[in-house]
Chain A
Amino acid sequence: MNTLKLYFKSIGMLLRSHLQYPESFIMQTLAQLVMEGGELMVVILIVDRFQSLKGWSGGNLYFFFGMMSVSFYLTELFGRGITGDFPMMVRTGRLDTFLVRPRGVLTQVLCAGTDPRRITCIAVGTAALIMGSTLSGISWNLLKVIALAESIVMSCLLILGLFMIEAVFSIFSVKSVELVNAITYGGRSACQYPVDVYPLPLRALFTVIAPFALTLHVPASWILDRPLYGWPSWTAFVTPLSGAAVFAVMAAVFRLAMRHYRSTGS
């Protein structure tokens, strides 16, 4: 409980420091709006041209897009310490200052970064969710709301876990992170469309290695009353837990990497 309080207090403080530079903050937030709005435009154009994709209607596609967008940018909003700032913390020695405090390193890393500019991206994502929900005529009930919330939380954990691969690489001072970007940013771009539009190798990648299909597509398609691969209802609640699993594994790897850091002092 104390840790959560610390986290929100830290984030609150970082928000205030971002607002120390209001002009820059507003400009960058608007830039984010244009960027994510453009992403949504692409989907709208595809829907306009093809009406449907492998049987998914336009409304369905907006819904998938919205879920990915909200999850991804929530992660960047609250997990900036891992998704963006970590390599810098290693280079500048800020990581050392975390080690001389009586708290977990990962906790402190997460407390040390937020990216409030992403709120406009989350707004675009939410708009897409509402648009998709209305166009698809989803009849909402409590279970569906729970499934939606679980899916977004688990996807956030998954995305955080994937970015931690990059963090671990930077501890071992490996600079080329293109491979990692392929499954983080690449995963976001690819998995804003339902996974069954892709050929088998990509489906395998996004089910086993970066399981967006399990955290996002299975529950989302169940909410849309079109279960992916015709899987039963309970899968919509169980498969997203893979996000927590990925995060747990990466947290363990992160600990090992920190052990390496502390013995080499790179």
Chain B
Amino acid sequence: MAYIEVDGLTKDFIVKEKRQKGKLLREKKTVHALRGVSFAVGRGELVGYIGPNGAGKSTTVKILSGILVPDGGEVLVGGLVPWKERREHVKHIGVVFGQRSQLWWDVPIVDSYSLLKDIYRIPEGDYEARLKELTQALDLEPLLRTPLRLLSLGQRMRAELCGSLLHRPELLFLDEPTIGLDAVSKLSLREFLKWENKEYGTTVMLTTHDMEDIEALCSRVMVLGHGQKLFDGRLPDLLARFDTVRNVRVKYAAALPDLHLPDDVGWSRTEDGFELSYRLSALPTAKLLSLLEEAGEISELTLQPENTDRLIAAMYKELDL
């Protein structure tokens, strides 16, 4: 049996709308946040959970972490039903909410950690060892005596991560962990997550809007939209399913040859070469390359990396999300 088992999860919210003129009672509207989502996650997996705002990502995470009770469906995490055995369940999980802090604002972060030690009943020896390890890995040592409110956004996220991992959770939920971080902070955060996952086999489930997070970290990605699971698999497979425009830049050693390309390939001349854009469905990359080679001696060729953000945007559009 997989570590996380989710079967047919449903959750509706009743939203009260603004009172309209001349009506005494506010109209109620039911929003289907989740309409039967199922998946399984094995121990030690790094899973990215993506989807546009309002797709049901946070709702899923809240149910899996025991905050919310679903309307239907079954969930088992490590053999426990999160909302029924909340206290036992949350001993084994760590949660980092992107926008709200779990630490105390005005006191040095090490004091917050010491309180978390008592909350989770971590034995003193374990706590010392784990704190040392995490502060080294996250480069927090010089900041331990600094109050949270004086930390930069990147430092704060590292501090939050440390706090959520002190009790050695088997499962870590990250809700948009890299939101608002600069490039260096993002990179070091991703490195750390990989390390933690490898070192301890911590299962990580992360929701994000940042496709680089997924590319860098996740072996598996799930796409959620309108409360349903739309895709579950490897990122390259997801990208391959969506036919988007790709770009190639080519330079020739000698004079520019005439290109004989299919009509649906767009091209423009640059100083010493061409810029081409094409669709995979119209022309496989290998075919295009051989056409370019036939035309003359190539001095330089650049295949532009796929812009994942654009792909995802195209995908959301195609799926009408």
Contact B69–A93 (Cβ < 8 Å): no
**Interface check A226, CB cutoff 8 A:** no
Interface residues on B, range: 20 to 34
Q: Which of B59, B66, B95, B115 contacts A10 (CB 8 A)?
A: B115
Q: Interface readout for B69-107 with A: 1 if CB under 8 Å, 0 if not?
A: 100000000000001001110110101010010101111
B68 and A102 within 8 A (CB): no
Tell me if B239 counts as interface (CB < 8 A to partner A).
no
Give the contacts of A42-98 with B (CB-CB under 8 A).
92-94, 96-97
A5 to B83 alpha-carbon distance, docked (Å)? 27
Any chain A CB within 8 A of the CB of B195?
no
A92–B100 alpha-carbon span in the complex (Å): 8
A20 to B97, alpha carbons, bound, how many Å? 26
Majority secondary structure, A binding face: helix
Known: A6-B118, A17-B107, A264-B13. A97 touches B102 (CB 8 A): yes
In the complex, the answer to whether A100 meets B66 with C-beta atoms within 8 Å is yes
* Contact present for B66 and A99 (CB under 8 Å): yes
Mask, A241-266, CB within 8 Å of B = 1, is 00000000000000000010011110
B87 contacts across to A, CB distance below 8 A: 102-103
Q: Which of A94, A102, A103, A262 contacts B67 (CB 8 A)?
A: A262
- Cβ of B19 within 8 Å of any chain A Cβ, yes or no, is no
Closest B residue to A105 by beta carbon equals B86
Flag whether A13 is at the interface (Cβ < 8 A). Answer: yes
Q: Mark A1-42, 1 if CB is under 8 A from B, else 0.
A: 010011001100110110010000000000000000000000
Instruction: Report the minimum CB–CB distance from A264 to chain B (whole Å).
Output: 7
Check if A101 is an interface residue, CB within 8 A of chain B. Answer: yes
Q: Say whether, besides A13-B104, A264-B13, A97 and B68 are in contact (CB < 8 Å).
A: no
- How near does chain A come to B10, taking the closest CB pair, in angstroms? 13
Roughly how many angstroms separate A249 CA and B172 CA in the complex, as a whole number? Answer: 36
Please tell me if the beta carbons of A97 and B97 are within 8 angstroms of each other in the complex.
yes
Are the C-beta atoms of B68 and A2 separated by less than 8 Å?
no
Judge if B111 is at the interface, Cβ distance under 8 Å.
yes
**Contact between B120 and A96 (Cβ–Cβ < 8 Å)?**
no
CA distance A5 to B93 in the complex (A): 24
Which residues on the A side are within 8 Å of B90 (C-beta)? 99-102
> How far is B148's CA from A20's CA once the two chains are assembled, in angstroms?
13
Known: A16-B107, A17-B104, A103-B119. A265 touches B68 (CB 8 A): yes
**When the two chains form their complex, are residues A102 and B119 in contact, meaning their CB atoms are under 8 A apart?**
yes
Pick from B13, B68, B102, B118: contact of A262, CB under 8 Å: B68
Q: Is the CB of A2 within 8 A of B120?
A: no
Q: Does B65 contact A (CB under 8 A)?
A: yes
Cross-chain contact of A100 among B13, B88, B93, B104 (Cβ < 8 A): B93
Q: Is B240 an interface residue (CB 8 A)?
A: no
A262 to B68, CA, bound (A): 5
A28 to chain B, nearest CB (A): 15
Contact of A13 among B69, B111, B121 (CB under 8 A): B111
Q: Which residues of A are found within 8 Å of B91, using beta-carbon distances?
A: 102
Among A93, A262, A264, the residue within 8 A (CB) of B14 is A264
When chains A and B are docked, how far (Å) is the Cα of A18 from the Cα of B277?
61
Contact of B121 among A2, A97, A100 (CB under 8 A): A2
Please state if B102 and A5 are interface contacts (CB–CB under 8 Å): no
Of the residues B13, B69, B114, B120, contact of A101 by C-beta under 8 Å: B120
Q: Please tell me if the beta carbons of B106 and A9 are within 8 angstroms of each other in the complex.
A: no
Contact of A96 among B88, B97, B115 (CB under 8 A): B97
Asked if B62 is at the interface (CB within 8 A of a chain A CB), the reply is yes
Task: Determine whether B201 belongs to the interface, using a CB cutoff of 8 Å to chain A.
Answer: no
Residues of chain A within 8 A (CB-CB) of B118 are 2, 5-6, 9
Q: Which of A10, A92, A99 contacts B86 (CB 8 A)?
A: A99
A212-229 residues with Cβ-Cβ distance < 8 A to B are: none
Residues of B near A259 (CB, < 8 A) are: 69
Whether the Cβ atoms of A20 and B147 lie closer than 8 Å is: yes
Task: Compute how far the CA of A39 lies from the CA of B111 in the bound complex, rounded to whole angstroms.
Answer: 38
> Which 5 pairs, one residue from A and one from B, show the smallest C-beta to C-beta distance?
A17-B106, A99-B67, A100-B95, A102-B91, A263-B69
9 other contacts beyond A99-B86, A262-B83, with CB at 8 A cut-off? Answer: A6-B119, A9-B115, A97-B100, A99-B66, A102-B120, A262-B67, A262-B69, A263-B68, A263-B69
19 contacts between A and B (CB under 8 A): A2-B121, A9-B114, A10-B115, A13-B104, A13-B111, A20-B147, A93-B97, A93-B100, A96-B62, A96-B97, A97-B97, A100-B67, A100-B93, A101-B90, A102-B90, A102-B119, A103-B87, A262-B69, A263-B69
